[in-house]
Amino acid sequence: GAAMAAALREVEIDPEGTFKYILVRLQRPGGEERRDIVRGTAAAEFHNHIFEKVNPEMEKLGYECKCLGGGKIDHNSKDKKIRVFGLSTGYGKADHSVTVEILKKVYTDYEITWSDDKK
């Protein structure tokens, strides 16, 4: 249904600003089906706040969640640029190159870059 489609969107990030993000792997228990999603919001003070919101949503849909790491996203919608950088203290650094590939599927007309810089 629509709720499931929305929950499983590959990318859900704030439309503007700099904020924390996590890369999450969804997997059907015992199944082959798996997908990686990007979630980021300025509302989250810590990376685990994002995971704590995503995890129950996905469990309801029958997926197991694993956080693959985190970082920060700088989203400039005016210039159509996204920069992925930084890391999560709790989860470690996500593979930003994977995050960028996922973002590119959604933000097709953006310039999207990543680095291991902290800021």
Catalytic residues: 47
**Which residue carries 């959604």 as its tokens?**
106
Sheet of 34-41, strand order: 11-13, 34-41, 17-27, 64-76, 81-85, 111-114
Per the CB < 8 A criterion, the answer to whether 57 and 51 are in contact is no
Whose CA is closest to 117, among 80, 84, 74, 75? Answer: 84
- Residue 92, token pair as written in the block: 């470690």
Known binding residue 93? Answer is: no
- Binding-site entries for substrate: 20
- Binding-site entries: 20
